[in-house]
């Protein structure tokens, strides 16, 4: 009567298996459900009068927007975060970004398992063994040997441990600098941990009203923040491999190499562009000495990719710099990271396809590895999704906000989609309907690219026939 195995399972195991089956069968719906429930819970918490400094219940839009921004680790805000929320409110924010950050890392990794398994079934090829942390320890897995999603718990522990270690490390580097600044030790401890969490989760909120102002020219503080943001944005699979094989580059997977190289190219290329485009802007870098210019250029370039901290006022930037920030934000960070955007590997795949086409070779190649052509199709789908989300959001915002410039609206729309959190100032001054649209953009930006790949890869249909081939002209 099949009763025996069921009786052996305690309630918790059955619950876990239910969740795992849900994740595996409809990953997109699973992600929407998880993030949706988290947003609801945190909206409830922000609606509590003890969450605000004034002791009053905040307007619904501000509670919802803050909850979405916190859970999606975006960092956009409709209120002045530092002064509007109480100490309790800031504790909720802190817990929220940790859950959001760890949540997105775990979710992406779980869905990565789903993809790998489905791809394995579908193409009868093994997914790259070491791109996935679970795979790495166990070696390549044959088709018959199904990956149990029961390993979710183990994965969650690994992620949480990594997050804890990195955040404590970053906080330890920020703490003494704050003492030097004259912050009392207790506040310095809390603030350094808060900054560290905001850096590693790529959120970008600040704990105090003056924000980064005391440290805005400080190489130590800004560099530590950049390192925290970079580690968060590079993605968990990369951190996992690097933690074990930092000195053995031969063991680095293609995914690790592609992510690191593309990230560095974007970081350095962006910094060079900002250095020149803002050179003569009296509202940003004019009058700075060369070392400070270089520091600030790297800081903008690093934060534009999803960090969201800002030392300079984006509203005062030259239009050309805003466009460059737009492009960097849209690309975002690494796969299965706390950063958003279409992801650096997606961009890399597009360029590898164009290079292969230009060289006239049959396969996309990188680091002496051949990349299967179906990866390109996935990359194109992700970019189309991203471009469509940004386009719909921007057109709607422009339509309901007739007097605002495209410069600023496009900036905040891309920032919301890519969970970057930099703002031209539009978000805070926008009308309530515009803020609802931005909240929706943040939500779909966060769950979109994370789940799209899994959702697409998990739908498989076998065809028993081949249609005749025909080649349309393109270009």
Q: Which of residues 149-208 bind a copy of itself (CB under 8 A)?
A: none
Question: Which residues share a beta bridge with 369?
Answer: 366
In angstroms, give the least distance from the CB of 153 to K ion.
Answer: 28
Nearer to K ion, 112 or 421 (CB): 421
Handedness of CA 242, 247, 251, 254 (dihedral sign): positive
Q: Report d(CA 362, CA 339) in Å as an integer.
A: 33
Residue 277 neighbours by CB under 8 Å, 6+ apart: 318, 320, 321, 324
Rounded to 5 degrees, what are φ and ψ at 246? -60, -30
Looking at 6-14, 143-151, 189-197, 316-324, which segment touches a copy of itself (CB under 8 A)? 316-324
Alpha carbon of 324 to those of 320, 415, 417: distances in Å? Answer: 6, 12, 16
Looking at 38-46, 220-228, 292-300, 339-347, which segment touches a copy of itself (CB under 8 A)? 339-347
In angstroms, give the least distance from the CB of 199 to a copy of itself.
Answer: 23
Nearer to a copy of itself, 178 or 371 (CB): 371
What 3-state DSSP class applies to 262? helix
* DSSP secondary structure letter of residue 467: P
* 277 near a copy of itself (CB under 8 A): yes
In angstroms, give the least distance from the CB of 213 to a copy of itself.
Answer: 26
Nearer to a copy of itself, 10 or 475 (CB): 475
Q: Which of 224, 322, 328, 438 binds a copy of itself (CB under 8 A)?
A: 322
Number of other residues whose CB lies within 10 A of the CB of residue 185: 10
In the region spanning residues 409 to 428, those forming contacts with a copy of itself, defined by CB under 8 A, are 409-410
User: What does the binding site for K ion look like in residue numbers (CB under 5 A)?
Assistant: 75, 202, 204, 308, 421
Nearer to K ion, 205 or 385 (CB): 205
Look up tokens 């795949």; give the residue: 349
In angstroms, give the least distance from the CB of 52 to K ion.
Answer: 23
Looking at 16-24, 94-102, 139-147, 353-361, which segment touches a copy of itself (CB under 8 A)? 353-361
Number of other residues whose CB lies within 10 A of the CB of residue 79: 17
> According to DSSP H, which parts of 9-86 are helical?
11-25, 27-47, 60-71, 81-84
Looking at 58-66, 212-220, 307-315, 335-343, which segment touches a copy of itself (CB under 8 A)? 335-343
Q: Which of 56, 184, 289, 362 binds a copy of itself (CB under 8 A)?
A: 362
What 3-state DSSP class applies to 364? strand
Give first-to-last CA distance, the chain, whole Å.
63
Q: Report d(CA 475, CA 462) in Å as an integer.
A: 31
> According to DSSP H, which parts of 124-144 are helical?
133-138
- Rounded to the nearest angstrom, the gap between the alpha carbon of residue 392 and the centroid of all alpha carbons in its chain is 21
Alpha carbon of 10 to those of 30, 147, 159, 184, 204: distances in Å? Answer: 23, 21, 25, 49, 41
* 346 near a copy of itself (CB under 8 A): yes
Number of other residues whose CB lies within 10 A of the CB of residue 71: 28
Which of K ion, a copy of itself, none does residue 469 bind (CB under 5 to 8 Å by kind)? a copy of itself
Q: Report d(CA 435, CA 429) in Å as an integer.
A: 9
Nearer to a copy of itself, 162 or 449 (CB): 449
Nearer to a copy of itself, 315 or 369 (CB): 369
Looking at 1-9, 17-25, 183-191, 334-342, which segment touches a copy of itself (CB under 8 A)? 334-342
What 3-state DSSP class applies to 371? strand
Which of a copy of itself, K ion, none does residue 202 bind (CB under 5 to 8 Å by kind)? K ion
Q: Which of 90, 117, 135, 255 binds a copy of itself (CB under 8 A)?
A: 255
Which of a copy of itself, K ion, none does residue 20 bind (CB under 5 to 8 Å by kind)? none
What is the x/- site pattern for a copy of itself, positions 6-45, by CB under 8 A?
Answer: ----------------------------------------
Which of a copy of itself, K ion, none does residue 204 bind (CB under 5 to 8 Å by kind)? K ion
In angstroms, give the least distance from the CB of 52 to a copy of itself.
Answer: 35
The burial class, CB within 10 Å (0-12 / 13-18 / 19+), for 376 is middle
> According to DSSP H, which parts of 124-151 are helical?
133-138
Nearer to a copy of itself, 112 or 204 (CB): 112
Q: Report d(CA 459, CA 81) in Å as an integer.
A: 41
Nearer to a copy of itself, 173 or 314 (CB): 314
In the region spanning residues 224 to 243, those forming contacts with a copy of itself, defined by CB under 8 A, are 235, 237
Residue 205 neighbours by CB under 8 Å, 6+ apart: 75, 77, 81, 82, 93, 97, 198, 308, 421
Nearer to a copy of itself, 214 or 440 (CB): 440
Q: Which of 36, 59, 319, 433 binds a copy of itself (CB under 8 A)?
A: 319
Nearer to K ion, 152 or 306 (CB): 306
């Amino acid at each position: 009567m099949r009763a025996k195995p069921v009786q052996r399972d305690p309630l918790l195991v059955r619950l876990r298996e239910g969740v795992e089956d849900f994740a595996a069968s409809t990953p997109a719906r699973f992600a929407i459900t998880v993030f949706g429930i988290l947003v609801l819970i945190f909206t409830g918490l922000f609606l509590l009068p003890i969450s605000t400094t004034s002791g009053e219940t905040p307007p619904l839009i501000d509670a919802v927007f803050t909850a979405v921004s916190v859970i999606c680790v975006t960092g956009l805000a409709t209120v002045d975060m530092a002064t509007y929320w109480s100490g309790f409110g800031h504790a909720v924010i802190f817990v929220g970004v940790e859950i959001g950050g760890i949540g997105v890392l775990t979710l992406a990794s779980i869905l990565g398992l789903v993809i790998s398994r489905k791809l394995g079934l579908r193409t009868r090829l093994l997914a790259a063994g070491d791109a996935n942390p679970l795979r790495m320890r166990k070696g390549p897995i044959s088709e018959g040997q199904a990956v149990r999603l029961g390993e979710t718990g183990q994965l969650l522990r690994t992620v949480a441990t990594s997050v804890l270690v990195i955040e404590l490390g970053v906080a330890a580097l920020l703490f003494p600098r704050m003492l030097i600044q004259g912050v009392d030790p207790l506040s310095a401890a809390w603030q350094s941990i808060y900054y560290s969490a905001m850096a590693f989760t790529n959120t970008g909120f600040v704990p105090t009203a003056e924000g980064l102002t005391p440290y805005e020219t400080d190489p130590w503080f800004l560099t530590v923040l950049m390192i925290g943001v970079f580690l968060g944005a590079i993605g968990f699979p990369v951190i996992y491999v690097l933690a074990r094989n930092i000195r053995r580059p031969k063991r680095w997977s293609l995914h690790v190499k592609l992510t690191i190289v593309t990230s560095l190219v974007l970081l350095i290329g962006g910094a060079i562009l900002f250095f020149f485009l803002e050179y003569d802007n009296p509202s940003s870098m004019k009058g700075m000495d060369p070392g400070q210019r270089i520091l600030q250029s790297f800081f903008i370039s690093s934060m534009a990719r999803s960090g969201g901290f800002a030392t300079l006022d984006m509203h005062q930037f030259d239009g050309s710099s805003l466009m460059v920030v737009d492009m960097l934000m849209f690309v975002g960070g690494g796969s299965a990271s706390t950063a958003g955007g279409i992801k650096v590997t997606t961009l890399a795949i597009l360029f590898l396809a164009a290079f292969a086409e230009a060289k006239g070779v049959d396969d996309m190649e990188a680091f002496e590895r051949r990349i299967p052509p179906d990866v390109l199709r996935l990359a194109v789908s992700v970019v189309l999704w991203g471009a469509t989300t940004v386009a719909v959001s921007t057109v709607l915002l422009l339509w309901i906000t007739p007097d605002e410039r495209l410069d600023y609206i496009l900036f905040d729309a891309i920032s919301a989609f890519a969970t970057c959190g930099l703002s031209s100032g539009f978000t805070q001054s926008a009308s309530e309907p515009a803020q609802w649209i931005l909240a929706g953009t943040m939500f779909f930006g966060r769950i979109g690219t994370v789940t799209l790949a899994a959702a697409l890869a998990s739908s498989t249909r076998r065809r028993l026939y081949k249609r005749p081939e025909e080649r349309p002209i393109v270009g």
